[in-house]
């Protein structure tokens, strides 16, 4: 397991907390997939739509609780989240490819 959180995940969290849409999207691969409940968003364009409707667009702020490696280039990240729409603690499974987020989904 790496000793530090992969930089793309760290960047996604920091970009969310600073409401930096461009930096948020830069953390994702061109063909990334973001799943949220029964909705799946494809590509950076899809990540941008999810970001606008469910993340920075609703004032999301993340606090990293813990993280672990769960396979080659796969991580589970526990975040405490608060926004105008959602507050609580949850786990995301995030896959990294070529230094960027290739998939992100709740566990």
Average pLDDT taken over every residue of the chain: 96
Residue 46 backbone zone (phi > 0: left; psi -120 to 50: alpha; other: beta) = alpha
Q: Which CATH architecture has domain 7-106?
A: Roll (3.10)
The pLDDT of residue 2 is 55
Domain-by-domain residue ranges, the chain?
Answer: 7-106
The pLDDT of residue 36 is 95
For the entire predicted model, the pTM comes to 0.95
Residues in the chain, how many?
107
pLDDT tens, 39-75?
A: 999 999 999 999 999 999 999 999 999 999 999 999 9
Task: State how far the alpha carbon of 53 is from the alpha carbons of 4, 30, 63, in Å.
Answer: 30, 19, 20
The pLDDT of residue 3 is 75
- Alpha-carbon distance 64 to 46, whole Å? 24
């Amino acid at each position: 397991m790496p000793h530090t959180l992969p930089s793309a995940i760290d960047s996604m969290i920091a970009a969310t907390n600073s409401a930096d849409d461009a930096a948020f999207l830069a953390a994702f691969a061109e063909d990334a997939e973001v799943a949220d409940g029964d909705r799946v968003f494809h590509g950076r364009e899809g990540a941008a739509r999810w970001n606008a409707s469910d993340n920075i667009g609703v004032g999301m702020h993340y606090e990293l609780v813990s993280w672990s490696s769960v396979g080659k280039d796969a991580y589970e990240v526990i975040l405490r989240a608060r926004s105008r729409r959602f507050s609580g603690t949850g786990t995301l499974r995030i896959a990294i490819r070529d230094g960027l987020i290739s998939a992100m989904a709740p566990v």
